């Protein structure tokens, strides 16, 4: 089968690999849509693991069914998530399944930028979901990233009617805008350095948009009647984004650190200002659990989040390298989908 083998953000090669053999409890899935995630282009995160096949936002069709699998049949349309929890450790039973050790080691074989993947038994059991006929494969590929967004907002204790500032309007930021709007947020304001992304944010649920090059905290307070944001969601890894978040959050507000920075980034924090008189909560989130995936799929099925409106590029497998360039150097791109069967 054909795969897009990753060596670096500037070096992805169309190569051949054997179609994976499946065992008991496993599935072979033919990939129809695979989204490029911002984490796919973090070279520092996987420099010691290359070459490898990336891609974890996938939807496709069951090609083969392993012995003992009863929930799925050949031809079923499915969404598959690469990270799944054990559901029995301390973290899982206390509601923090996204920091489970098992979740951090599970994946599928080889990766979503391939014509086929082998889905291990544990992923079949708790990370594979039937895709409704009304949901396209490309919409299905949003289940995993949307699940991460829903988990993050839950971790931040998002409440309806809260004012929300989303810093960074790439695909994660726009999913946060849509999710917050669908769940009844009050005023939603988005920022970015690119005008076309700001325009996208205002069409997807943000009432206002601010250039990230402006004084974001001051601009937000002008828009919000003098108050800071009840919830600030940081969807950009630049240190300036974190500094803006710290300055823009309201008293009693919450900052959700959703995007990661480079490993060496460190930000000074005025402890008394945030944790004594102002009662600010700083929190983070990683991944999404099975329940988050189910909710994400249902929100997409119900038409509550028009995720397909964020797709700007659909590329065949041979152009995966171009897709990575579009994500690393965005000019007119938001969501890039690879279609491995083309």
The pLDDT of residue 189 is 98
d(Cα 183, Cα 180) in Å, to the nearest integer?
A: 5
User: Does the N-terminal peptide bond of residue 51 adopt cis geometry, omega within 30 degrees of 0?
Assistant: yes
Selected from 3.40.50.720, 3.20.20.140, 1.10.3470.10, 3.40.190.10, the CATH number assigned to the domain covering 157-284 reads 3.40.50.720
pLDDT in tens, 224-238: 999 999 999 999 999
Residues of the chain with CATH 3.90.180.10: 2-147+287-339
Q: What are phi and psi of 243, to 5 degrees?
A: -60, -40
User: Above 80 in pLDDT, residue 119?
Assistant: yes
H, E, C per residue of 183-226: CCCCCEEEEECCHHHHHHHHHCCCCEEEECCCCHHHHHHHHCCC
Whether the CB-CB separation of 35 and 337 falls below 8 Å is answered with yes
Query: 2-147+287-339: CATH homologous superfamily?
Result: Medium-chain alcohol dehydrogenases, catalytic domain (3.90.180.10)
Whether residue 309 has a cis bond before it, omega within 30° of 0: no
pLDDT in tens, 164-199: 999 999 999 999 999 999 999 999 999 999 999 999
274: pLDDT strictly greater than 80 = no
Domain with CATH 3.40.50.720 in the chain: 157-284
């Amino acid at each position: 089968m054909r795969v897009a083998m990753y060596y670096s953000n500037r070096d992805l090669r169309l190569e051949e690999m054997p179609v994976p053999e499946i065992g008991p409890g496993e599935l072979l899935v033919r990939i129809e849509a695979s989204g490029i995630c911002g984490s796919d282009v973090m070279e520092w995160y996987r420099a010691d693991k290359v070459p490898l096949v990336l891609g974890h936002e996938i939807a496709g069709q069951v090609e083969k069914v392993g012995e003992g699998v009863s929930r799925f049949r050949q031809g079923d349309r499915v969404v598959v998530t690469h990270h799944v929890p054990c559901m029995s450790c301390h973290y899982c039973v206390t509601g923090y399944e996204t920091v489970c050790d098992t979740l951090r080691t599970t994946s599928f074989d080889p990766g979503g930028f391939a014509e086929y993947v082998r889905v291990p038994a544990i992923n079949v059991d708790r990370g594979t979901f039937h895709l409704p006929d009304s949901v396209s494969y490309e919409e299905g590929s949003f289940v995993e990233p949307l699940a991460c967004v829903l988990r993050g907002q839950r971790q931040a204790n998002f409440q309806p009617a809260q004012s929300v500032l989303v810093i960074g309007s790439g695909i994660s930021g726009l999913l946060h805008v849509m999710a917050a709007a669908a769940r009844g947020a009050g005023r939603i304001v988005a920022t970015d350095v690119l005008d076309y992304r700001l325009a996208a944010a205002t069409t997807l649920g943000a009432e206002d948009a601010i250039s990230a090059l402006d004084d974001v905290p001051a601009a937000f307070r002008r828009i919000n009647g003098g108050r800071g944001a009840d919830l600030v969601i940081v969807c950009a890894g630049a240190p300036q984004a974190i500094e803006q978040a710290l300055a823009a959050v309201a008293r009693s507000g919450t900052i959700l650190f959703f995007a990661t920075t480079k490993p060496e980034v460190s930000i000074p924090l005025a402890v008394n200002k945030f944790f004594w008189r102002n009662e600010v909560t700083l929190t983070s989130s990683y991944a999404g659990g099975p329940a988050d995936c189910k909710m994400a799929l249902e929100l997409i099925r119900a038409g509550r989040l028009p995720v397909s409106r964020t797709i700007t590029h659909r590329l065949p497998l041979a152009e995966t390298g171009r897709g990575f360039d579009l994500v690393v150097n965005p000019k007119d791109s938001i969501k890039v989908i690879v279609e491995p069967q083309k």
